[in-house]
Structure 1
Amino acid sequence: MNIKLDENFGSLRVATLLRLAGHDLATVREQGLISTHDEELIDICRSENRCLVTIDRGFGNRLKYNPSHYPGIIVIRLPSRPIFEDYRTVTETLIGWTGSSRYDW
């Protein structure tokens, strides 16, 4: 899967786990896109054919970001004070979900 990790979720450990799982991964940080406006970022994801993975709940607004217009938007919900284990669990879940058929869940 082609994925772009938003700056708010794109730690080196998360990126490494996704790459080891075989995903084509780009990060906002690596591409110098930190603080890019949401509309511009999602347009970049669309042009790169990448699914955005973020904790920015604004991307969950289906009226503003209609899922049918993008390769994918995954909004992660973490505890208010996440620890590494929270990130690892979410990343492993994401790897399991993206590695399966869309119809297996």
Structure 2
Amino acid sequence: MKVKIDEGLPVSLAGRLAALGVDADTVFDEKLTDCADPEVLAAAGREARIVVTLDRGFGNIQSYPPGSHGGIVVFRLDEQSARSAVAAVENLVTHHDLADLVGTVTVVHRGLLRIRRADA
């Protein structure tokens, strides 16, 4: 599976995910920091990547309808430290099949997933 790590998440997460078998790159890799969300999503789409982010704006299904992109996973963390963010993303990758999240808008909060699909 392929993901693009948005700014706000530690760049080191890419290496941690690679060790778990995930092809991960970051917005920093493509010099997309400070770009608007649609630009980040378009770049991820060109590479068939799921966007992994802390940015709650990506969770707006009116702006980013399920099925119109490669997938978005928004983490809503009670604590947004680097350690907590890495642990939450690693938990998702190790306990869920990312292929099931392609084309969805998924919000992860306290280990629970709210998945919005195009057909829902």
Shorter-chain TM-score range: 0.7 to 0.9
Shift of 1:10: 3.5
Shift of 1:79: 2.1
Corresponding residue number in structure 1 for 2:94: 96
Instruction: Provide the TM-score with structure 1 as the length reference.
Output: 0.83
Whole-angstrom distance in 2 between the partners of 1:3 and 1:101: 11
Structure 1: runs of 5+ lacking an equivalent: none
Query: What amino acid sits opposite 2:85 in the alignment?
Result: Y
Change beyond 3 A, Cα 1:54–1:36: same
Change beyond 3 A, Cα 1:69–1:90: same
Whole-angstrom distance in 2 between the partners of 1:88 and 1:81: 10
User: Taking CA–CA contacts closer than 8 Å with sequence separation of 6 or more, which of the two structures ends up with the larger relative contact order?
Assistant: 1
Structure 2: runs of 5+ lacking an equivalent: 101-112, 114-120
Query: What SS does structure 2 have at the residue aligned with 1:63?
Result: coil
Instruction: Provide the TM-score with structure 2 as the length reference.
Output: 0.74
Query: What SS does structure 2 have at the residue aligned with 1:17?
Result: helix
- The size of the alignment, in residue pairs, is 101
- Higher helix content, 1 or 2: 1
Corresponding residue number in structure 1 for 2:6: 6
Native 8 Å contact 1:10 1:28 kept in 2: no
